Amino acid sequence: MQGKRVLVGIGGGIAAYKVCEVISTLAKAGAEVRAILTESAQAFITPLTIATLSRHPAYTNQDFWQASHHRPLHIELGEWAEVFLIAPLTANTLGKLAYGLADNLLTNTVLASACPVLLAPAMNTEMWEQQSVQRNWQLVQSDRRYHAVGPGSGILACDRVGAGRMAEPPELLAHLESLLHTRGDRDLTGKHFLISAGGTREHLDPVRFIGNPSTGKMGIALAQAALHRGATVTLVHAPMDTGLLTGLRGARLISVVSAAEMHRALLECFPDADWTVMAAAVGDVSPAEYSAEKLPKRSLPTTLNLNFVPDIVADLSSRKQPHQTIIGFAAQTGDIITPALDKLHRKKLDAIVANPVDISGSGFGSDQNQAVFLDSQGNQVVIAQCSKLQMAHHLFDFVKTLPLSDTDLSN
């Protein structure tokens, strides 16, 4: 986010308080943030609050109608912005955007800009479900410049339970990060992604298992990046914090526990997949015997007999069709390149991510990652430490350029 230029338009609604977290997080990450408040937004949150959080004066209609700038303010802001967030998006502003109307600083700036615009609606359920509002929502989304996030369902400020709840700050921030990378290009539209995530568990009894430290964050980031770029996504995930899944609107989610369950789910979904990304940390072995009841401590075996689990990636590769692409992950310590290249060729993958898990700020549980991308043609690309969402976008950019591959979407 360092140095990125983010313009935030704030509409009149109680959900405006959520935008404070978005602006504060962006500013702390080094982004340049400018904000516009509509007249009704100021009934919920003050320009002083936004100015303090963004480290820059907030703009209102009063600034718009004053000749205090060398150039018209809406022109300056529109040309300055790399991405434009409007949150909360009210029914009033939605109607103006749908028909290209402009009667305040916010809507004039939208028309004076060319950057991607992320829309986060928030309103009462009855308002949201009105035929006129839904018509305007569909109309505005027909313009490829606009990107939608939400609304979700839940308890609203009016105590109603239903649709109309604005997306949460982490989801908004992730979508903004994607838009800054892609500049709004939906280059994966029409592609079906099958992604695995998380660490599988092989149970000895109902409360004990063999597992690994994977949290699934990398797989979640891959799913987010694919969705943000227009793909259809199926995510097969091992046990993980369910809060991580809230930003995957529109994805098909399949929950599994063991390697065998993940194997079955992936085999079922694989024929429909164009790209398969195996980011899950699948266990290599499982206990030879399972107890349906918790074993007392005195009955625990001192020697554990193990069976190897089936090789999921190798099985999928053996079923691969010419139009399909399979990407693997190799979580390694020490020398990460040699074992990753061996896995790449032995399992006939199109590309692999060599991922160091013994370096601070990388690997299991971290919000950051670093890696080396390798393909079957011998190409290698080093990716320095970045967010896992950025890593996902870099990976998709890399795979799109693979030679002699149907993954090249440039045409």
Active site residues: 158
H or E element that contains 134: helix 131-141
Q: For residues 361 and 385, what is the distance between their CA atoms, to the nearest angstrom? A: 8
For residue 37, the cross-strand partners are: 10
User: For tokens 């022109």, what's the residue?
Assistant: 75
DSSP 46: -
Could you tell me whether strands 32-37 and 146-148 are parallel, antiparallel, or unpaired per DSSP bridges?
Answer: unpaired
Question: Cβ neighbours of residue 110 under 8 Å, at least 6 residues apart?
Answer: 9, 78, 84, 86, 97, 102, 117
Q: Which is it for the CA torsion 9, 12, 15, 17, positive or negative? A: positive
Nearest Cα to Cα of residue 15 among 127, 105, 104? 127
Check: CB of residue 397 under 8 Å from CB of residue 405. Answer: no
Q: Which residues neighbour 202 within 8 Å (Cβ) at sequence distance 6 or greater?
A: 209, 210, 211, 258, 259, 283, 285, 286, 287, 309
Q: Kind of pairing, strands 285-287 and 306-308?
A: antiparallel
